């Protein structure tokens, strides 16, 4: 059974704290993605990675960084958390390739982050 | 204008009703996905379409490539169908990274 796990379901942090969100997949997928989900805005891509140590900015990378030291693990880092980063954060993974079978993304359960 | 637009944004139905959620997109695509998200839960893939129609149980998804439009139908709706339904597209000719563009989601509530 394919699985994407995230380190926390709920997280409460204070403004200015450094925050790490971890994502692990066991499907040997090359691609990994970090999204945030806000009411009325849907899922927006923050960063993605297509290989170890490789990363690309998504649509809203400001205030975030990422790390991919191992193929199965993709970390999202909030260098100095702010209240406007309060959101649901979702990780996903997929195979690398152009064919239809590579299209499906598998999602983790999400981390609801509150920044006070 | 968003590249992927869903309608309606909110939908309330009585148990047993036939439900339709619509998705329109403005770019050429290689695939369209319908996803489901239950409250507090993760997201699961319902369908992946590049043409025609697919059926799984009470769920039916259709796509019209020429009109850039897809619909998700639920027959004989049930309260357990209450969830957020999300349309997402993969642009044609893109990279092999599989980036998706998402609609805002449709919140469906089915009352007993």
pLDDT of B88 over the 90 cut: yes
Q: How far apart are CA A51 and CA B68, in angstroms?
A: 32
Distances (CA, A) of B27 to A99, B2, B68: 18, 10, 8
Whole-number mean pLDDT of chain B?
A: 91
pLDDT digits (tens, 9 = 90+) for B12-22: 999 999 999 99
Q: What is the pLDDT of residue A13?
A: 97
Write the residue in A45, A104, A107 that is nearest to B42 by C-beta.
A107
The pLDDT assigned to A102 comes to 61
**pLDDT of amino acid B69:** 96
pLDDT at B108 over 60: yes
Taking one residue from A and the other from B, the number of pairs with CB-CB distance under 8 angstroms is 65
pLDDT value of residue B40: 76
Position B92 pLDDT exceeds 80: no
- For the cut 60, the answer to whether the pLDDT of residue A100 exceeds it is no
Residue A96, pLDDT above cutoff 90: no
User: Looking at the predicted structure, is the pLDDT value of residue B28 above 90?
Assistant: no
* B73: its two tokens: 């139908």
Distances (CA, A) of B94 to B54, B63, B70: 24, 20, 20
**Tokens for A4?**
């994407």
Tell me whether strands B10-14 and B106-111 are parallel, antiparallel or unpaired: parallel
The verdict on a CB contact (< 8 Å) between A31 and B98 is yes
* Each residue's pLDDT tens digit, B36-86: 998 877 899 999 998 999 999 999 999 999 999 999 999 999 999 999 999
Q: Does the distance separating the beta carbons of B50 and A94 come in below 8 Å?
A: no
Name the more confident of B69 and B2: B69
Residue pLDDT, tens place only, A30-89: 999 999 999 888 899 999 998 898 999 999 999 999 999 999 999 999 999 999 999 999
Smallest CA–CA distance from B6 into chain A, residue:
A42
Q: pLDDT-based confidence at B94, cuts 50/70/90?
A: low
């Amino acid at each position: 059974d394919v699985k994407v796990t995230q380190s926390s379901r709920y997280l409460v942090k204070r403004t200015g704290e450094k925050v790490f969100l971890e994502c692990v997949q066991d499907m040997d997928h090359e691609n990994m993605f970090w999204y945030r989900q806000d009411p009325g805005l849907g899922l927006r891509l923050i960063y993605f990675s297509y290989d170890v140590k490789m990363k690309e900015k998504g649509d809203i990378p400001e205030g975030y960084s990422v790390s991919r030291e191992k193929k199965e693990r993709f970390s999202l880092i909030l260098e100095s958390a702010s209240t406007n980063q309060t959101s649901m954060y979702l990780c996903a993974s997929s195979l690398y390739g152009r064919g239809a079978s590579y299209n499906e993304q598998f999602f983790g359960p999400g981390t609801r982050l509150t920044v006070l | 204008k968003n590249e992927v637009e869903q309608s309606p944004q909110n939908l309330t139905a009585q148990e047993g009703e036939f439900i339709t959620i619509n998705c329109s997109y403005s770019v050429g695509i290689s695939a369209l996905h319908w996803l489901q998200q239950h409250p507090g839960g993760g997201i699961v893939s319902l369908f992946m379409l590049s043409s025609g129609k697919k059926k799984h149980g009470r769920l039916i998804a259709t796509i019209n490539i020429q009109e850039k439009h897809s619909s998700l139908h639920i027959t004989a709706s049930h309260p357990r169908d209450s969830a957020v339904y999300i349309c997402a597209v993969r642009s044609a000719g893109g990279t092999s990274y599989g980036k998706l563009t998402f609609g805002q989601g449709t919140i469906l509530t089915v009352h007993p």
